[in-house]
Amino acid sequence: MILKYAISKELRQELGLRENEELYYCVPYDIDDDGSMLDDSYIVVSNFRLFITKKGKVLESLELKDAGEVIAEPLINCGTLIWKQNDTERKLIRYSSKHLARYAYIARGCRLLKEGETIPVESDEDEKTCPRCGRALPGTKECPHCTHQKSGLINSMWKYMKKYRMLLTTAIILMLLATAVTMLNPALQRILVDDIIKDENGTMKGAMIVLLGMLALSIGIILINAGKYYLCAKLGANMALDLRKALYGKIQELSLSFINDRKPGELMNRVIGDTNRVRDFMSEIFCDFATIAVIFVFDVIIMLILNWKLALIAFAFTPVAVGISISFRKVIHRRFHMQWVKDDNVRSNLQDVISGMAVVKSYGQEEAEGLRFNEKADAYAATQRSNETVWALFFPAMQFILSIGTYFIVFFGGRSVLNLDMSAGELIQFVSYTGMLYQYVGWLSNLPRHLMNIVTAHERISDVMNQTPRIADGEEAVEHEIQGNIEFKNASFGYKSYKPVLDGINLKIKPGEMIGLVGASGTGKSTMINLIMHLYEIDNGELLIDGINIKDIALENYHSQIGVVLQETFLFSGTILNNIRFAKPDATYEEIITAAKMANAHDFICRTPDGYNTYVGEKGYNLSGGERQRIAIARAILNNPRLLILDEATASLDTESEYLIQKALERLTAGRTTFAIAHRLSTLRNADRLVVIDGHHIAEVGTHNELMEKKGIYYGLVNAQLEMNKSA
C-alpha cells in the first residue's frame, strides 16, 4: 500500500521544509469539510511536522512534538484524522474508506516519529486499484494489464509445458495437418467443377475419384480434430494438475498471515478456479487458436493468389464482420449474464429458505416465503424466455449479415466468370475461402478476452508462487531439542500491523513450568500461543527458546516436539484412529490407546460401533464438542511432546471428565513446559504461575495465592466466578 505519494515540486516548495527536515509520508484525503468530494489534497508528514494541504496550498502545519497523539478514527464508510493535544481532540480532515487503512498506518507513523524512530512504517497490504491504469487489481500485487505479463505468461506457461514436449509437438503437427486438410477441400471443389463437370472430357469415374477424395478429407478432418482435442485436453489437464500441486505446496509453505490476509475461499479459488482456467485455455483456446491462426494466414494468402481484386473486396468487409460479431457478443453476454444473476437469485433464496425451514415453519411464514420464491422464479423465467427469443432471432440475422460480404463476392466474381476472367470452379473455391475468413475473424476477435482471462489467472497464480514465505527456515536453522525455557523479550505483535494485539511482552518461563494464561475474551491469549508455536512472526522484540531465537530453529523439527489442543477443535474427515495419529503416523496401537485413555476418550470410543475405526465426518461434526476435544487431547499427547499447549482444551467437558483428564495430564505434564488457557479458572488450579493479560500487556504474574493477595484483576475474576457459581 502506498504511503508516500509523489509530491509535486510546487507543493514541496510551498511546504518550506527546514534544514534536516525530510518527508516521510504523503497520502491523499478525499472529503471536504462540507462533505463533498475532493481531490488533489494531501496530508504530508515530515520528521518534524504534519501538513494539511488542499489543492496545492498548505492550509496548516502542526509540530509533531506538540501532538499528544495523532489518531485515525474509522467512522462509517469514512474516517477522520484527529489531532489530540492537551486532551482536547481536534478533527483535521476526513477521508473515504479508500484511505482508511492508509491513515491507520500514518497515525502509527506519526507516533513513531514523535518517539524519535526514524525508520518509516511500511505496509505490505495490496492496493485495490492499479495506480497506473486505474483498473481494479484482482487480488494481486501487480496489475495484469500494466506489467508485461503477456511475455511473462508465455515464459511461465512454457515452464509448465516443456515437460510435455512430445505431446505439444504432436498436437502442433496435428494442427498443421488440420490446416492443410481444411484448405484442400475447396481446392477439390474447384477441380470437381472446372475439370469434371464443366469439362467435356469429364467422366463419371473422375467425378467419383474427386468425391471420394473429398469424403476422405472430411473423415480426415474429423479424425485429426479428435486427436488434436484429445492431446490438447491432456496437455491442459496435466499442466493444471502440476500447477495445482505447485500452488498447494506453496500455500502450505506460506505463513498463516498470508492465508489470513486473503478472503476465505480466495485461495481455494486460486488452486481450483484459476488452474481450471489454465486447463480450459489450453484445451479449447490454445488448440483452436493455433489451428485457426494458421488457417487464417493461409486463407488470406491463397485468396490473394487466386484473385487479388476479389480478395481486397472481401477484406474490405472484414471490419464490418468484426464489428457485428463483437456487438452481437456484447448483447448476448449481457443478456445471459442477467439470466445467470437471476438464476443465482433463485438458488440462494431457495437455499436460504431450505436451511432455515425450521424457522419459517415455526413462525408460520410458509405462504409469504412461497410468494417471494414465486416472484423470483417468475423473474428468472421471463428473462430466460426473452433471451431464447433474442437468440432465435438474432443469431440467424447475424449469420445473414455476415454472409452479405459473400454476396458481393458472388456478384463481382460472377461478373468475372461471365467475362471469362475466372473459372466457375475458382469462384466456388474463392467463396468457400471467404466464408472461412469471416468465420475465423469473428473467432479471433474473441481472442483478447480469452487472453485477458488467462493473463489474470496466471497473474493470480504467480502472485502466490512468487511469495517468499515470511516464516521459513533460514540458512542457519538448527535442529533443537526443546528443554522448555521460553523467554519473551519486549515482544509485540498484531495481526494487522497497525493494530497491536500484544505489546511489550516480557516473560521468562522455566522448563517444566505450567503456565496458566488468563484474561478477558479477545485480549490475546490464543495469540500468545500462536507466537510460541511460531505460526506468526513477532513484529518487534524477541522470542527465545532455550536461549535460541525462535527464527533460527528448524520449523518442522520444532513443531514435531509440540503437542497442541487448539481452541477450535479441528478434526479431519477420516477415522478417529487417523485423527489421533495425525502427528505421528507410525504410532503403535498401544501408544494410541494409552493416549486415548489419558484423554478419557477410550471409553466413549469403544462405545461407538466401529471403535477406533469410526469415521468422523467433515470437521467431526457427528461427535459432541467434548468428544472432539478429547480426541484432540489424545492427538496432542500422543507423541510425547516437550511443550504442551492447551487452549481451552477442556472447556466443553463436564466437571467430572475435566477432573479425570487433569489428573491424567498431571502425570504427563510433570517435567514439561505447559501452557494452559482457560476461562474456567478452576481448570488452572495446578498451574505454577498465572499470567494475566490485559490491555495488550501482561498485567499480573504470580501464583494463585500471590495474585489473590494482590487483589488485582485475577482476584476480581476469581471472586466473580465464585459469586456466579453461588448465585446460579
Ligand X SMILES: Nc1ncnc2c1ncn2[C@@H]1O[C@H](COP(=O)(O)OP(=O)(O)OP(=O)(O)O)[C@@H](O)[C@H]1O
User: Which parts of this chain interact with ligand X (CB under 6 A)?
Assistant: 260, 495, 501, 519, 521-527, 567
In the bound state with another protein, the residue whose beta carbon lies nearer, of 217 and 452, is: 452
**Which does residue 172 touch among another protein, Mg ion, ligand X, none (CB within 5 to 8 A, set by kind)?**
none
CB atoms within 10 A of CB 140: 20
Nearer to Mg ion, 526 or 683 (CB): 526
Residue in 429, 553, 551 with CA at minimum distance from that of residue 481: 553
Please say whether the beta carbons of 497 and 123 come within 8 A: yes
Instruction: State which of positions 423-482 bind another protein (CB under 8 A).
Output: 452-453, 456
Q: Which is nearer to ligand X, 40 or 266 (CB)?
A: 266
Task: Provide CB contacts within 8 A for 462, sequence distance 6+.
Answer: 152, 156
128 counts as binding another protein under rule CB under 8 A? yes
Binding flag, residue 36, another protein (CB under 8 A): yes
Residue 421 beta carbon to another protein: minimum distance, rounded to whole angstroms: 48
Measured distance CA(254)–CA(464) in Å, rounded: 9
Residue 87 interacts with another protein (CB under 8 A): yes or no: yes
Residue 75 or 606 with smaller CB distance to another protein: 75
Judged by CB under 8 A, the residue of 57, 132, 135, 198 near another protein is 135
**Interface region with Mg ion, contact rule CB under 5 A, candidates 119-127, 132-140, 355-363, 559-567:** 559-567
Whether the CB-CB separation of 620 and 631 falls below 8 Å is answered with yes
For 121, the grid coordinates are: 512504517
Residue among 119, 354, 358, 728 that touches another protein (CB under 8 A): 728
Least spacing, CB of residue 697 vs ligand X, in Å:
13
Nearest to 699 by CA among 503, 495, 484, 531: 503
> Which among 331-339, 465-473, 507-515, 619-627 is the span making contact with another protein, rule CB under 8 A?
331-339
Please give the size of the binding site for another protein, defined by CB under 8 A.
Answer: 41
Cα 243 from Cα 272, distance rounded (Å): 10
Q: CB of 303: closest distance to another protein in angstroms?
A: 34
Report in angstroms how near the CB of residue 264 gets to Mg ion at its nearest: 19
Residue with cell 497523539: 69
Interacting stretch for another protein, rule CB under 8 A, among 182-190, 216-224, 333-341, 486-494? 333-341
Residue 705 lies near another protein (rule: CB under 8 A): no
First and final C-alpha spacing in the chain: 52
- In angstroms, give the least distance from the CB of 40 to another protein: 13
State yes or no: residue 567 binds Mg ion (CB under 5 A): yes
Binding flag, residue 67, another protein (CB under 8 A): no
C-alpha cell at 146: 500494466
**Distance set, CA 392 to CA 241, 332, 400 (Å):** 39, 11, 13
- Residue closest to Mg ion, measured at CB: 526
Phi, psi of 518 (to 5 degrees): -130, 150
Decide: residue 217, CB within 10 A, 0-12 exposed, 13-18 middle, 19+ buried. Answer: middle
Least CB distance to another protein at residue 339 (A): 11
Contact 661, 676 (CB under 8 A): no
Burial 236-247 (b: 16+ CB within 10 A, else e): bebbbebbbebb
Q: Is 353 in the site for another protein (CB under 8 A)?
A: no
Give the containing element (helix H, strand E) for 646: strand 643-647
Mutual angle of helices 287-306 and 308-316, in 10-degree steps: 130
- Is residue 96 a contact residue for another protein (CB under 8 A)? yes
Can you say how many angstroms the Cα of residue 143 is from the centroid of all Cα atoms in its chain? 15
Closest CB 489 distance from ligand X, rounded Å: 20
Say how far apart CA 623 and CA 485 lie, in whole Å: 37
Among left, alpha and beta (phi > 0; psi -120 to 50; other), residue 504 is: left
Nearer to ligand X, 86 or 521 (CB): 521
Does position 98 interact with another protein (CB under 8 A)? The reply is: yes
Q: Is 255 in the site for Mg ion (CB under 5 A)?
A: no
Closest-CA residue to 178 (of 221, 214, 226): 221
Q: Decide: is 76 part of the binding site for another protein (CB under 8 A).
A: yes
Nearer to Mg ion, 423 or 567 (CB): 567
Distance of closest approach, residue 626 Cβ to another protein, in angstroms:
24
- Amino acid identity of residue 504, one-letter, is G
CB-neighbour burial class of residue 586 (10 A; exposed 0-12, middle 13-18, buried 19+): exposed
Q: How far is the CB of 259 from another protein (least distance, A)?
A: 20
Q: Which is nearer to another protein, 54 or 559 (CB)?
A: 54
Q: How many residues bind Mg ion (CB under 5 A)?
A: 2
Find the shortest distance in angstroms from Cβ 535 to ligand X.
10
Bridge partner residues of 549 (DSSP): 544
Q: Least distance in Å: CB of 567 to ligand X?
A: 5
Q: How far is the CB of 647 from Mg ion (least distance, A)?
A: 6
The alpha carbon of 221 is separated from its chain's Cα centroid by a whole number of angstroms, namely: 42
Segment 515 to 534, residues that bind Mg ion, using CB under 5 A:
526
Which residues neighbour 562 within 8 Å (Cβ) at sequence distance 6 or greater? Answer: 482, 533, 641, 642, 643, 644, 645
According to DSSP, residue 317 is labeled T
Q: Is 341 in the site for another protein (CB under 8 A)?
A: yes
Contacts with Mg ion by CB under 5 A lie at 526, 567
List residues near another protein by CB under 8 A: 31, 35-37, 75-78, 80, 82-83, 87-91, 94, 96-98, 100, 128-129, 135-136, 138, 334, 337-338, 341, 452-453, 456, 716, 719-720, 723-724, 726-728
